Amino acid sequence: MTESAIAAPPLRLAPSAFARLGPRFFTALAPAPLPAPYWVGRSAALAREMGIDPDWLGSDDALQAFGGNALLPGSAPLASVYSGHQFGVWAGQLGDGRALLLGETPGGLEVQLKGSGLTPYSRMADGRAVLRSSIREFLVSEAMQALSIPTTRALCVVGSDLPVRRETVETAAVVTRVAPSFIRFGHFEHFSHSGQHAELKALADHVIERFYPACRAAADPYAALLGQVTERTARLLAQWQAVGFMHGVMNTDNMSILGLTIDYGPFQFMDGFDPGHVCNHSDSSGRYAFDQQPAVAHWNLCALGQALLPLIGGRERAIAAIEPFADLYGDALAARMAAKLGFARATPAVGALADALLALLARERTDYPIFWRRLARQMAGTGGEPVRDLFVDRAAWDAWLLQYQELIGHDPSGHSPDLMLKTNPAIVLRNHLAEQAIARAKLKDFGLLQDLLGALERPFDEHPAHPDWAGFPPDWASHIQISCSS
């Protein structure tokens, strides 16, 4: 037998459990062909987790399947319908305008193509995604995962020279996304606001059955579901805020019912600390500014609660389910900030210290990731540049540091520099890093993209071969404008 005759087994899918919800939930359709597809990037780590044969993932069969030119065995592609509030306004029916759910893996993970052509929900758009935004989504999905921040995953990106018109003419790409479910708050809003309450109940039962089974035993399972989603969303937001992540388009159709980060568009990691920073160039009112994100998440949970009202025994129960958000978020954030400072426990004194620090960072616009990593390395004694050099107002820094040291001195066993090194990443996917990988990828050079992915998969390690990846953004980076167009 020749080597080529031993075919590596392909990824086999089964129709997703979502498909069993019935035709009111989706339209079945095949992806549009993608001319002359080529590989842009693949995540070997996710492939391993999914049990995908690495030889097959490198094959032309896989390239055709993830480009949308062939169907994986067992798949039954569909575009789902949802609705949502966009920028605070009811937007009516939306849906997977350029995404297709292919099916699910034996391990219960849904596999979705994004950018795979027109669907009945494409509205005025073209059903495609551009290479630039596809690379950003691919890299950040895996970066967030490595930071232990709940997220949809990305298995690979396939490119094509097919022209796609945005502000300028770009080229098309398809991202393969993976998650236990892509159900959004907007799915619930869709069936609720259109009066399809049997479908609303079927959807809620599906989500409870698969993802929140403990809710079944509750006195009011749907209020319990809302409570669980509130909890996960609060924790997610605490993680975003602590790491300095901005989503950019927190519409209810971009909110995962599993509390995952979903639909990466104009996202950004904080550079110089500016609580009011707006990363989405199209967000002129600053609705989704960094410091607004927790309040927006709460607002979105209220929209979800409103949608679930037909199933919940009374408005009071819905309000009671969402009400813990502020405390859950506050506690989760306090725990995160304490860990960033190396404290095992979040006490009021640690909280006051963290607040004073954030106020100082905001006043000085101190580079957020660099500050935290330098502090971690300084406390751990592993070298690096002095933290103090980051500040213009050195007296203010010295005063804060003194308080910090005093607090550590009260209970040295409650402080761990190692925890700081494992909590404050050396590398995050800043806009300029993504831009560099994109620029090279446009020239069909994917080496930087793959190297960057490798570093982002180990964000708490130092990457001495690439000091610039952990360094300050270059001057040109401040001119990068990321709009909603993707």
- Binding residues (CB under 6 A) for ligand AMP: these are 94-98, 121-122, 125-128, 249, 251, 254, 263, 265
Nearest approach, Cβ of residue 64 and Mg ion (Å): 26
Question: Which one of 32-40, 249-257, 316-324, 370-378 is the stretch in contact with Mg ion (CB under 5 A)?
Answer: 249-257
How far, in Å, CA of 228 to CA of 305, rounded?
12
How far, in Å, CA of 63 to CA of 156, rounded?
9
Q: Which partner, ligand AMP, Mg ion, none, binds residue 10 by CB below 5 to 8 Å per kind?
A: none
Nearest Cα to Cα of residue 76 among 120, 112, 121: 112
Decide whether 170 or 253 has the Cβ nearer to Mg ion: 253
Q: Which partner, Mg ion, ligand AMP, none, binds residue 159 by CB below 5 to 8 Å per kind?
A: none
Nearest Cα to Cα of residue 235 among 210, 259, 271: 259
Q: Computed from CA positions of residues 127, 130, 133, 135, in that sequence, does the dihedral angle turn out positive or negative?
A: positive
From 16, 176, 254, 431, residue interacting with Mg ion (rule: CB under 5 A)? 254
Per the annotation, the verdict on 253 as an active-site residue is yes
C-beta of residue 258 within 8 angstroms of C-beta of residue 278 = no
Nearest approach, Cβ of residue 117 and ligand AMP (Å): 9
Decide whether 84 or 305 has the Cβ nearer to ligand AMP: 84
Nearest approach, Cβ of residue 39 and ligand AMP (Å): 22
C-beta of residue 127 within 8 angstroms of C-beta of residue 98 = yes
The residue from 253, 263, 283, 367 that is catalytic is 253
Query: Is position 283 an interface residue for Mg ion (rule: CB under 5 A)?
Result: no
Query: Is position 263 an interface residue for Mg ion (rule: CB under 5 A)?
Result: yes
C-beta of residue 421 within 8 angstroms of C-beta of residue 343 = no
Q: Which partner, ligand AMP, Mg ion, none, binds residue 271 by CB below 5 to 8 Å per kind?
A: none
Q: Which partner, ligand AMP, Mg ion, none, binds residue 122 by CB below 5 to 8 Å per kind?
A: ligand AMP
DSSP string, 467-484: GGGGSPPPGGGGG----S
Q: Which partner, Mg ion, ligand AMP, none, binds residue 198 by CB below 5 to 8 Å per kind?
A: none
Nearest Cα to Cα of residue 159 among 430, 485, 438: 438
Decide whether 249 or 437 has the Cβ nearer to ligand AMP: 249
b/e map of 118-136 (b: 16 or more CB within 10 Å)? ebebbeeeebbbbbbbbbb
Q: Which partner, Mg ion, ligand AMP, none, binds residue 305 by CB below 5 to 8 Å per kind?
A: none
Nearest approach, Cβ of residue 249 and ligand AMP (Å): 5
The residue whose Cβ lies closest to ligand AMP is 97
Integer angstrom CA distances of residue 214 from 17, 179, 231, 420:
19, 21, 14, 34
Query: Is position 80 an interface residue for Mg ion (rule: CB under 5 A)?
Result: no
Nearest Cα to Cα of residue 117 among 153, 162, 154, 74: 162
**Catalytic machinery residues:** 253
Residue numbers at the binding site for Mg ion (CB under 5 A): 254, 263
